[in-house]
Amino acid sequence: MAEVQTGNILMGSLGLYEVGEFLGRGGFGRVVECTKMGSEETFAVKIVDNLRAGHEEMEAMKIISSLNPDQNNLIKIHECFRHKDSMCLVYEMLDESLEGFMERRSFLPAHLCQIRAIAQQMLVALSGLESINVLHGDIKPDNIMFVDQVTNPLKLKLIDFGLAVDPQELETGTKMQINPFRAPEVILGVPLDVSVDMWSLGVVLASLYIGDVPFSNKNDYETIRGLVQLLGLPEDDLLHLAGAGLPFITGSLLNAFTKSLYRASVSWCQSNIYLCVICIAMVTNVVVLYNLGQWEHVDVK
């Protein structure tokens, strides 16, 4: 792992970058704010310690760069280069993540006008990715960022394509996404397509609407348990395809549901399931209108 400290200089092909504030850390490496020397331009430089992972993200960004990043609400890459034994990807500097926005507001439910604007922009992003056969694979509040809340309060972009993949290359049973944003198809081990991104987006929007994630994030079992409580059992044809995931929705889980599903307190149902149902209905309506071309444009300038 390449040691990087504040004040260090990173040498790219398009310029030199002075390392400033550390913006975040993760299993992939670090993200640092850098100033391009000789100018006042700032960038978010993602330093990926695993060269293979860094190369894969670079290749994904080459494909994604065929789209207009501003029109499709996707983060813009400036350049990428190798620094010692790490890969550096230089991205445009954005503002706050949706996760940060929710935390700063103490996870109070967002206004419908805000959710509507976020939904519209993320649907445009997913539509663009689908047009070039790219599945994001990790949609969550951390990976949706505001561009500039001062000059353009509701303008957002989708970021972090480290797990992006061509959906046609996904093998059945591939594990991806994190709970509680993991799609049921992933948990159940059935064939996957770009709809798993749509599911994650739906959960993000539901979380904004109710101020909390609608499903448990402890493990796959708890996620499926919440899904069945809210939406009922999957259809028989899906269960037939489920394979290794089938134990999640059979046996003791089903016995527990038959005994307790309809015995939840009225107050719990009103504060959780009822709100989730409303939100899912709202999200479904958004998707249907968008697909029919009846989604009214939201001006976020």
Q: What is the DSSP letter of 135?
A: B
Alpha-carbon distance 86 to 223, whole Å? 36
Token pair for 90: 């230089």
Return the closest-CA partner of residue 226 out of 240, 236, 238, 212.
212
The long-range contacts involving 21-25, CB below 8 angstroms and separated by at least 24 positions, are: none
Give me the amino acid identity at 11.
Answer: M
Return the closest-CA partner of residue 177 out of 124, 130, 220, 239.
220
Helix, strand counts (H, E) of the chain: 10, 8
Alpha-carbon distance 145 to 150, whole Å? 14
- What 3-state class would DSSP assign to 181? coil
Q: Is 138 a catalytic residue?
A: yes
Within 10 A of 134 (CB to CB), how many other CB atoms are there? 23
Beta pairing class for 152-158 and 144-148: antiparallel
Within 10 A of 195 (CB to CB), how many other CB atoms are there? 14
Q: At what angle do helices 220-231 and 252-260 cross, to 10 degrees?
A: 40
Alpha-carbon distance 169 to 133, whole Å? 10
Question: Is residue 155 a known part of a binding site?
Answer: no
- Which residue out of 138, 220, 237, 299 is catalytically annotated? 138
Q: What is the DSSP letter of 298?
A: -
B/e letters for 207-241, b = 16+ CB within 10 Å, e = fewer, are bbbbebbbbbeeebeebbbbbbbeeeebeeeebeb
Annotated binding site: 46
Q: Give catalytic residue positions.
A: 138
Residue positions forming the annotated binding site for ATP: 46
